[in-house]
Amino acid sequence: MSRLKKFAVTVGAVVFWLVVWEIIALKIDSDIILVTPIEAARRLAELLTVGEFWGSVLFSSVRVLSGFALGLAVGTALALVCYKVKFVKMLFAPLISAMKSIPVASFTILALIWIGSKNLSVLVSFLICVPIVCANMTEGMEQLDPKLSEMAKIFRIPPLRRFVGVYLSQLLPYFRAASRLAIGLCWKSGVAAEVIGIPNGSVGEKLYQSKVYLETADLFAWTAAVIILSFLCEKLFMLLIDLLYKRVEQL
């Protein structure tokens, strides 16, 4: 399928579901239960002109992305240790499994007790990101081709060039897949944590207020904002990784 055709199909699918949403909302005919997509878009457009909206977006973005970045660094470092020392891998295996399956709500309540609500989304995003990155990167390291290491030894390739050309080129696809999965989950869980912890000035607080005041249009507008933010962050980060990939590919 050509890129244009693929794009057209995607847009068509989105339009189809918006129409379904519009029809259902019109049938229900209650702004509290379900607003129309047009109403949600109108509310989002209104919010975009308010300074407070951007303040909340900045508040949550900084925290979610900080947790994500920290998670990437710690997850990768932990993967390296797990790969090098099998005992550490065995030691961390149950912890990583537990981190993968513990509900976000449990993390959040615990984090609230430990650090309060202001930086809650940093910790929750971090805790969501670490096991994903660690598991993927450990697998990537275990898949490193030992015959390429032998090749590098035979040709006496210097350490930095060896790291980039032989190892990084093999690990980047794993890093890309891990970060793509993690960034979306960080947004999802980070905002969910804010809804529970209600830190002042966060996107989660706004979502919570829309629930309290039964402002369904606000709820949809803020949800759309989170989806857009998550989508943009993912695209931007993937673009950065692809640029790095291209650099490595041409060495």
Partner 1 sequence: MLKAVNISKKFGGNIVLENFSRDFPDGKTAVILGRSGCGKTTLLNILMGLLPPDGGEVLRDGQISAVFQENRLCENLSAGANIRLVTGGAIADEQIARELSAVGLSDCMKKPVRELSGGMKRRVALLRALLSKYDILFADEPFKGLDLDTKQSVLQYFREKTLGKTVVLVTHDSAECELLADEVIRL
| Position among 70, 104, 148, 185 found at the interface with partner 1 (CB under 8 A) | 148
156 binds partner 1 (CB under 8 A): yes
Q: In residues, how long is the chain?
A: 251
Beta bridge partners of 34: 30
In angstroms, the CA 207 to CA 15 distance is 25
The number of angstroms, rounded, from the C-alpha of 54 to the middle of its chain's C-alpha atoms is 20
Helix (H) or strand (E) holding 232: helix 216-250
Contact between 21 and 37 (Cβ < 8 Å): yes
Q: Between 114 and 133, how does the x/- string for binding to partner 1 read (CB under 8 A)?
A: --------------------
Q: Which of 37, 165, 184, 201 binds partner 1 (CB under 8 A)?
A: 165
| First-to-final CA distance of the chain | 31
Establish if 159 lies at the interface with partner 1 (CB under 8 A): no
- Count Cβ atoms below 10 Å from residue 132 Cβ, excluding itself: 24
Q: Is the dihedral of CA 195, 199, 200, 203 positive or negative?
A: negative
Q: Determine which residue in the list 144, 172, 195, 244 makes contact with partner 1, applying CB under 8 A.
A: 172
Q: Does the protein bind partner 1 through residue 157 (CB under 8 A)?
A: yes
Residue 137 CB, shortest distance to partner 1, in Å, is: 16
The single residue among 173, 185, 188, 209 that binds partner 1, judged by CB under 8 A, is 173
> Per-residue x/- marks for partner 1, 38-67, CB under 8 A?
------------------------------
- Which of 69, 73, 170, 176 touches partner 1 by CB under 8 A? 170
Range list of H helices, the chain: 3-28, 37-48, 51-84, 86-101, 104-115, 120-142, 146-154, 159-162, 169-197, 203-212, 216-250
Of 150, 214, 232, 243, the residue at the interface with partner 1 (CB under 8 A) is 150
Question: Is 113 an interacting residue with respect to partner 1 (CB under 8 A)?
Answer: no
Write the DSSP assignment of 9-28 as a string of letters: HHHHHHHHHHHHHHHHHHHH
Q: Is 243 in the site for partner 1 (CB under 8 A)?
A: no
Find the binder of partner 1 among 12, 94, 158, 159 (CB under 8 A).
158
Beta partners for residue 30, in sequence order: 34
Residues of this chain that bind partner 1 (CB under 8 A): 145, 147-148, 150-151, 154-158, 161, 165-166, 169-170, 172-173, 245, 248-251
